[in-house]
Structure 1
Amino acid sequence: MGDAELAARLLDPLPQPTPGASATRARLAWHHGDVDGAVAGLQEAVRRGSGTRGERALLGRLSAEQDLLGDFTPHLDPVPGYRPRGRTMLCAVTNSLPHTASGYAQRTHSYLAALRVRGWDIHAVTRPGYPVQVGRILARHTDTVDGIPYHRILPARLAPTATGRAQQHAEALLRLALTTRPAVLHTTSHYVNALAVRAVAEALGIPWVYEVRGLLADTWAATRGPAALASSRYQRFQRREARALTAADRAVTLGAAMAQRLAELTAEHCPDTPTPRVGLAPNGVGEDYLRAAPTRDRARATLGLDPEHFLIGTVTSVVDYEGLDDLLRAAALLRPSVPALRVRIVGDGVARPGLEHLARELGIADIVTFTGRVDRSDAPLHTAALNAFVIPRKDRTVTRAVTPLKPVEAMAAGTTVVASDLPALRESVRHDTTGLLTPPEDPAALAATVLRLVTHPDDAARLARAGRQWARAHRTWDAVARDADARYCELVRDAPMTAHDVEESPA
């Protein structure tokens, strides 16, 4: 919702039976993570007879969300005699190319395309209702991108509740699996995808892999403050994630920091279950990205940028935890000693208006450019134009655990990387080897780190070369797919070739 504090102040003087007030109170409680309080308030309004039609509908939706955060599981009957096809995988994802060009969608495609090169027959399928729900009204039931078919689940009527959609999701996945006949299933976070995929895997008797790219509850809590960590919504969401991890035949994640976070999560929420085996499937770059990154001079000529400027910046989602306010404050400190300094922030997001105001307040608006969102295919161009690619992330639970793709892409483009000294970023940015690390939320330290690159250009060039070599050696999609291929082959080899054999009737 919008301004939660303002909503709370406006609600305070209203009598409980005021029409519509219970719905607003429920949304406010849900916003703060009070799942049971939100539902109970609506139930009381309905019991009193003061609940509006809209409040009764909201009660149905939130009650289903409450069940989904609880013990709800889709039900599918076992499929007798199912015979999978070798080296065939069905991957269930939230969204995909060509309708969504996010980092999530691009990672999915690069990962699957690299597996296809290794001889896997790949099918992907998106969540129910996508992409119609994001405005692609005339979407086809299958889009094929670079040989990867992305199947769509587009029912005539999408179930109105979260639990209904989860059941609908599982049933549609099973129908598709009986056509494509996968030997292994793969899905990505969050746990709602895992619920559907687990149900299908158990119905068919085949293994499934759960890939955790991030913990959505941590991202949610990062926008609400420390109190959110104790909320029922946060705790139940994390418990469901832990259960999905322990139920999967194999779990994978982006880096060692997240793997440690997942081990802690399962120990807290599933203490009686063995710690799951979590493999690594890090972010990578493809040969297309490596070929697309031009030299700095060529990139600047293409973008119309002054070759004499010392350009620092980033290509990112413009949200608070990225720490771009610290980048602007560092730039303000640097400006007197670095007249050629310019800042370039490529991307868009909810934090942009506040950052534009901060730039004016600091007196550096004339040297800061906010480009807005650009096509992902142009990201290598914008990255290569920078003298320093800066990742000034705040110190938050989500930023300590989630390993982003951006430092790897910047290294592959041959740009020196400066990043906050956080566990997830240390996995790719090795201080004074593949880049430079600086204390998070410390603009003065960030300014000093950037100044080092300004005054020691040979050092900056050394770091850029080393970063590019490391990315090429360790973070290509071919290397990631090689490990994934071995993981799937191990799972398929250990699984029975025929699941749920038909029982013979007694003579």
Structure 2
Amino acid sequence: MRIFHILDHSIPLHSGYTFRTAAILREQRALGWETYHLTSPKQGATQVADETVDGLRFFRTPVPAAGPAGINELRQMRATEARLEQLARELKPDILHAHSPVLNAIPAIRVGKRLGIPVVYEIRAFWEDAAVDHGTTAEGSLRYRATRAMETWALKRVGHAFTICEGLRADIVARGIPEERVTVIPNAVDVEGFQLSGDPDPQLRQQLGLAGRTVLGFVGSFYAYEGLDLLLQSFPGLLASNPDLRILLVGGGPQEANLKAQAAQLGVTDKVVFTGRVPHSEVSRYYDQIDLLVYPRHSMRLTELVTPLKPLEAMAQGRIFAASDVGGHKELIRDGVTGRLFAAGSAQALTETVSDMLAGRDRWPAMRCAGREFVESVRNWTNSVAHYQQPYARLTAAGRANG
């Protein structure tokens, strides 16, 4: 079976999107399927028309001239469509597999219709909700409604829809898509790619000013929905009963300046360490510095519907964490078993939960074991990718019958 994936962006860029993609592609190849991969203009300008990264060959789409909002997206879709049609005629895939956003689905639908190739669409988050978080639109605005309509239009015109969690699946079905045409491919981890957390490097700990301290932390991109402002808001209360506590924030992003200003306003600048972005190869060294990870995501459509990778990666490494009780977390975490949940948006709830966890470290070994066992037996890529088989087989059989 030949599957042609149409992607927003890919490795060597680093994001949850690219890591999920690479894991899916490798597991599909392990099943004996041939996979081809095209990235949209949002990959950015590249030196070559195709390149191999970590054993995966990616075809690139030329970046069109920029234009105003609306025109820019139209140009991107036209460029993706032209490149996709050229490659699909040459490679003759059995299925076109578009991944969100809808800017990839529409070109795939148009090419699939012209060439008689079945199209599937995989939604990892809705484009309109991502735009709300980025601050480029507001929920219910004209742009929001138009983007939502585009997503629904695409979903109604593909042979099958895939998504990453039950929250998004319910939203898709509510748009009028038959349940049997929507399949969840859950977020997972490559367990063999994660080693159990190790002892902190004493030299790095000294360098970060964390020697002899208990460390709360977060590793990733600083988006507003991650709720790091709530962690900082809670910090003075946590310090009152845990004076040796420190916060380690590893990464960067749109909220970095705001978080630094908040730390200064709270008078805790000397107790919050911002490392900036670190090389991917070094991330595990920084994780090892953290005693307790905190994922305080705010409640909004995006976080209620979408399951993140971070808690699964933490479980795979045997790490201890507390997370807000948004829907995306509740799908992954068994409160008190694989992690702890606290009321989203509540600084008091965060403070109480973290304080309780710090006071009950005797419960941590059992939590580490339960988390690791969950990803080993349930949330692994072999289990997740197996869910593609039946819809793919149905569509390719129908394609052959019609061809």
Please, which runs of 5 or more residues in structure 1 have no aligned partner?
1-86, 268-272, 500-507
- By how many angstroms is 1:298 displaced? 4.3
Against the structure 1 CA distance between its residues 421 and 96, is the aligned structure 2 distance closer, same or farther, given a 3 Å change threshold?
same
Tell me whether 1:146 sits opposite 2:57 in the alignment. Answer: no
- Counterpart AA for 1:143: E
Which among 484, 487, 492 is matched to residue 388 of structure 2?
484
| Whole-angstrom distance in 1 between the partners of 2:276 and 2:171 | 33
Secondary structure class of the residue paired with 1:185 = strand
Against the structure 1 CA distance between its residues 140 and 495, is the aligned structure 2 distance closer, same or farther, given a 3 Å change threshold?
same
Against the structure 1 CA distance between its residues 351 and 106, is the aligned structure 2 distance closer, same or farther, given a 3 Å change threshold?
same
- By how many angstroms is 1:143 displaced? 0.9
Tell me whether 1:410 sits opposite 2:314 in the alignment. Answer: yes
Against the structure 1 CA distance between its residues 325 and 150, is the aligned structure 2 distance closer, same or farther, given a 3 Å change threshold?
same
1:201-350 to 2 correspondences below 5 Å: 201-222=112-133, 224=135, 228-264=138-174, 266-267=175-176, 274=178, 277-291=181-195, 293-295=196-198, 297-298=199-200, 304=206, 306=210, 308-350=212-254
- By how many angstroms is 1:468 displaced? 1.6
* Corresponding residue number in structure 1 for 2:5: 91
| Whole-angstrom distance in 2 between the partners of 1:261 and 1:124 | 28
Q: State whether residues 318 and 347 of structure 1, in contact with CA within 8 Å, keep that contact through their aligned partners in structure 2.
A: yes
Against the structure 1 CA distance between its residues 194 and 391, is the aligned structure 2 distance closer, same or farther, given a 3 Å change threshold?
same
- Counterpart AA for 1:393: R
- Counterpart AA for 1:429: I
Against the structure 1 CA distance between its residues 498 and 278, is the aligned structure 2 distance closer, same or farther, given a 3 Å change threshold?
closer
- By how many angstroms is 1:121 displaced? 1.0
Secondary structure class of the residue paired with 1:339 = coil
Runs of 4+ aligned structure 1 residues displaced above 6 Å come to none
Against the structure 1 CA distance between its residues 465 and 309, is the aligned structure 2 distance closer, same or farther, given a 3 Å change threshold?
farther
Please, which runs of 5 or more residues in structure 2 have no aligned partner?
none
Tell me whether 1:163 sits opposite 2:78 in the alignment. Answer: no
- Counterpart AA for 1:412: A
Q: State whether residues 40 and 76 of structure 2, in contact with CA within 8 Å, keep that contact through their aligned partners in structure 1.
A: no
Which digits, 9 at most, give the CA deviation of each residue in 1:206-236, with x for residues without a partner?
22211111112112224559x9223111001
Against the structure 1 CA distance between its residues 392 and 159, is the aligned structure 2 distance closer, same or farther, given a 3 Å change threshold?
closer
Secondary structure class of the residue paired with 1:479 = helix
Tell me whether 1:183 sits opposite 2:94 in the alignment. Answer: yes
- Counterpart AA for 1:183: D
Tell me whether 1:111 sits opposite 2:24 in the alignment. Answer: yes
| Whole-angstrom distance in 2 between the partners of 1:451 and 1:148 | 45
| Whole-angstrom distance in 1 between the partners of 2:186 and 2:82 | 31
- By how many angstroms is 1:375 displaced? 2.5
Secondary structure class of the residue paired with 1:153 = coil
Q: State whether residues 410 and 417 of structure 1, in contact with CA within 8 Å, keep that contact through their aligned partners in structure 2.
A: yes
- By how many angstroms is 1:303 displaced? 5.3
| Whole-angstrom distance in 2 between the partners of 1:299 and 1:469 | 26
- Counterpart AA for 2:105: A
Which digits, 9 at most, give the CA deviation of each residue in 1:25-63, with x for residues without a partner?
xxxxxxxxxxxxxxxxxxxxxxxxxxxxxxxxxxxxxxx
| Whole-angstrom distance in 2 between the partners of 1:482 and 1:302 | 41
- By how many angstroms is 1:408 displaced? 0.7
Which digits, 9 at most, give the CA deviation of each residue in 1:308-336, with x for residues without a partner?
42211111211222111110122211112
Range that drifts further, 320-329 or 160-169: 160-169
- By how many angstroms is 1:485 displaced? 3.5
Count of aligned positions: 397
* Corresponding residue number in structure 2 for 1:131: 44
- Counterpart AA for 1:208: V
Query: What's the C-alpha RMSD, in Å, of the aligned pairs?
Result: 2.3
Secondary structure class of the residue paired with 2:243 = coil
| Whole-angstrom distance in 1 between the partners of 2:402 and 2:37 | 23
- By how many angstroms is 1:464 displaced? 2.0
| Whole-angstrom distance in 1 between the partners of 2:278 and 2:377 | 28
* Corresponding residue number in structure 1 for 2:258: 354
| Whole-angstrom distance in 2 between the partners of 1:411 and 1:436 | 12
* Corresponding residue number in structure 2 for 1:388: 292
Which digits, 9 at most, give the CA deviation of each residue in 1:248-269, with x for residues without a partner?
11111111112122233x14xx
Against the structure 1 CA distance between its residues 185 and 397, is the aligned structure 2 distance closer, same or farther, given a 3 Å change threshold?
same
Which digits, 9 at most, give the CA deviation of each residue in 1:105-163, with x for residues without a partner?
1211111111112211111001147431xxx4xx11111123321001237x6586443
- Counterpart AA for 1:440: A
Range that drifts further, 368-377 or 390-399: 368-377
Tell me whether 1:172 sits opposite 2:78 in the alignment. Answer: no
Q: State whether residues 183 and 387 of structure 2, in contact with CA within 8 Å, keep that contact through their aligned partners in structure 1.
A: no
Q: State whether residues 314 and 346 of structure 1, in contact with CA within 8 Å, keep that contact through their aligned partners in structure 2.
A: yes
- By how many angstroms is 1:491 displaced? 2.8
Q: Percent same amino acid at aligned positions? A: 30
| Whole-angstrom distance in 2 between the partners of 1:497 and 1:146 | 37
Tell me whether 1:445 sits opposite 2:349 in the alignment. Answer: yes
- Counterpart AA for 2:77: A
Secondary structure class of the residue paired with 1:335 = helix
| Whole-angstrom distance in 2 between the partners of 1:337 and 1:370 | 23
